[in-house]
Amino acid sequence: MGCGMGKSSLQEKKSIRAALLIQRWYRQYVARLEMRRRCTWNIFQSIEYAGEQDQIKLYSFFGFLMDHFTPASSERNLISHIFHENEICRDTEWERYFCYKDIEVPDSYTGPHLTFPMTFCGVSKLVEAFKHKQQLHARYVLQILGETWRLLRILPNINYVSVSQTKEITICGDLHGQLEDLLLIFYKNGLPSSEKPYIFNGDFVDRGKSSLEILLILFGFLLVYPNDLHLNRGNHEDHIVNLRYGFTKEILGKYRVHGKKILKLLQKIFSWLPLATVINDKVLVVHGGISNSTDLCVVSRVDRHRYVSVLRPPKTQTLTNFLNLFSFSNKEMSTCIPSLDSRSKTFTQIVNLLWSDPMPQNGCISNEVRGGGCYWGPDVTEEVLGRHNLQLLIRSHECKQDGYEFCHNRRVLTIFSASNYYEVGSNRGAYIRMGTDLVPHLIQYQASRTCRELTLRQRYAHELSALRALREQLFVHKSDLIRAYQEFDPHHTGKISMRHWASATESVLKLGLPWRVLRSQLVSRTHYGMVDYQQWIKELSITEPKLEVSDTSILETMYRNHSNLETIFRIIDTDHSGLISLEEFRQTWKLLSSHLKMEISDKAIADLAHSIDFNKDGSIDINEFMEAFRLVDLSS
C-alpha cells in the first residue's frame, strides 16, 4: 500500500517537472518569436522612414534649385512646374477646369451611373461597384471632385463636432489605398449617416492600389452628410509625396485620357482639406501630432489652401528656415522658432500637425528619422493640451502592430486602420468608437481572411519579407559597405569581427537596427567569430540585369536611388504620357547627380539609355525602365 503511494507521488512529481519544462520551453519559444517580431518590425519601419527622409531631402534640393539657380537654368526649368502652386487662380477659372459636360458616357459603360446631388443610395451603389472591382467613369469622377471642392472651401480649418447619448462618433486612421480595410470597417460598424458620424484622420492615399476608390467613397458620403463625415488632411494628401508612393501612377493607369486633369483637381482638393477636428471641445484629432509651438488659434486662421504641398515653404521664407523645419541635425525645434516670420510660423504649424511623432522623453526635437516635423515628449503633450483645455490627443501617422497604441500617460492615442500594412499578418487595423464619456473604445480587425487562419508560427513568416527588403538595402550599398569593412581590416585579411561588422553596417545604412541580433539571419557563416565580408557580400543572392555599360557604378547608383529616379522621371514627364525622350533621360541623371554631389559621365548615361531603349524609337517607357531594374532576391 505504502509502496503504491510512493510510486504515485513519484509519477506526479515527474509529471509536474515535465509540465514545468514544457512551460519553460514554450515561454522561451514565444520570447524568441517576439524578439524576431520586433526585429522584423524595426526593419520594416526603418526602411519606410528612410524612404520618407529621402523624399524630403530630394524636395529640399529642388527647393534649393528654385531659390538659387537662375530662371533660365536647365535644372530649374526641369522642375519649376511642380512649384506653380496656383496655375489657375480665379474660382471662375477653376469652375471651368472642373467642367465635365463635354465628356460623354458611352453605352458600353457597365459601371455605376450617378445622379447629382449625391444621395445615400448613390454612394451605396458606388461602394458596391468598387467592391466588385468596377471602375467609375471619368465624367462621374470629375463631378464628385467638383462638388467636393465647392464644399471643402466653406469648411473651417478645424471642425468642431459633438457627440451625444444617442450618437457615438467613429474615428479611423491611415487607410493608404487599402479598400478592403474601409469596406470591413463599414461592414462591422455601419455606413456613415446622420446617426453614425465618422472622422477619417488622413493618409487615405498612396501605397495601396485603391486610393482613388477610397477617396470617391469618402467624398460621396461627405457630400451626402457634410455635418457627419469629417476628413482631416494627412501628410500623404500632397501631390509631391504622391509622385513617389504610387497615387500618381495609380490615377494615370486607371484614367489615361483624363488622368492629368483628375490629378490637378485632387491637388487642389487636398489643399482645402481641414487640418484637425475637435470632439466636444475636449478631444483633438489630428493626423501627425503637435509641437511645443502648436497654437490652435493660429491654425484656425491659416489660409490652408495656399499650402498645396507642405514640403514647400512659403515663397517669403528663406531656405535656411526651410532646412530648419525639415532638418537632419540634432538642433532643438524651439531654437528655430523665434527667427521665423509670421507666415513661416504658420507653415511650421502645418508641418508639425501633419508630420510629427511622439517620443517617450521630455522635450521637442526635430524628427530626424522621417526628416520632417518634430518628436514631442509627454511634457509638451501636457502643456499643449492644458493650454487648450483638452484632455486627449488622437493621432495616426504611425503603423502599430495592434492597430493602436497609447502613450504619454494615455493622453495620446495613435490609431492606424490599414491592416497587413507591411506584409500579410504584420499588423492589425483598428478604429475608435467614442461616446459622451469621451472614453475611446477600440475595435481591432484584420482584413485578410487568410491571415486570421494563420498558426502561431505562420504569423511570423512575414519576417522573410522584411529580411528580403533588408538584403536589398545591403546589396545596393555594397561598395560603401566594403569600404567601411576595410577600415576595420588594416591587414587585408577579408575578415572582421562581428562587433566591427555591426558597427560598419550601421554607419553606412543608418537604419538604427540591432545588427548583432540580426546577424544569424543575415550572415550564414562565421569563423571563430569573424565575418568573411567579401564572401558575405557575394552571398546576398540578389540578381541584377546584365547590361553593357561603360561605367558599372551607374548601376549601383540606380539601385540605391531607385525611388528618387522614379520621382524625377514623373516630374519631368509633364504630359503624363509615361514616356520620356533620351534627352530628358540624360537631364534626369544630371539632376540626380547634382543632388547626390557626384559625377556621372555623359557616356555612361548614354550607354544606359541606349541599352534599355529596346525598340530604338528614341524614347523610354518609365514603367518598363523601373521594372527592368527591379532587384530579385533569389534566396526566397
Q: And the C-alpha cell for 477?
A: 550599398
Place of cell 481641414: 274
* Separation between Cα atoms, residue 186 and residue 176, nearest integer Å: 16
* Separation between Cα atoms, residue 345 and residue 339, nearest integer Å: 9
Q: And the C-alpha cell for 217?
A: 467613397
Q: What is the b/e burial string over 332-342, where b = at least 16 CB atoms within 10 angstroms of the residue's CB? A: ebeebbeebee
Indicate which residue of 176, 230, 236, 408 is catalytic. 236
DSSP codes of every residue in 198-259: EEE-S--SSSSS-HHHHHHHHHHHHHH-TTTEEE---TTSSHHHHHHHSHHHHHHHH-TTTH
* Separation between Cα atoms, residue 264 and residue 88, nearest integer Å: 10
Q: Which of 88, 86, 116, 89 is nearest to 100 (CA)?
A: 116
- From the CB of residue 599, how many other CB atoms can be counted at a distance below 10 Å? 7
First to last CA, the chain: 63
Note the residue count of the chain. 636
The one-letter amino acid at 203: D
* Separation between Cα atoms, residue 570 and residue 565, nearest integer Å: 9
Residue 81 is a catalytic residue: no
DSSP codes of every residue in 454-511: --TTGGGTTHHHHHHHHHHHHHHTHHHHHHHHHHT-TT--SEEEHHHHHHHHHHHH--
Q: Which of 595, 516, 514 is nearest to 45 (CA)?
A: 514
Place of cell 516630374: 571
From the number of C-beta atoms within 10 Å of its C-beta (0-12, 13-18, 19+), residue 573 rates as middle
Sequence-separated (6 or more) residues with CB below 8 Å from residue 255: 138, 141, 262
Q: What is the b/e burial string over 441-466, where b = at least 16 CB atoms within 10 angstroms of the residue's CB? A: eeeebbbeeebeebeeeeebebbebb
Q: Which residues are catalytic?
A: 236
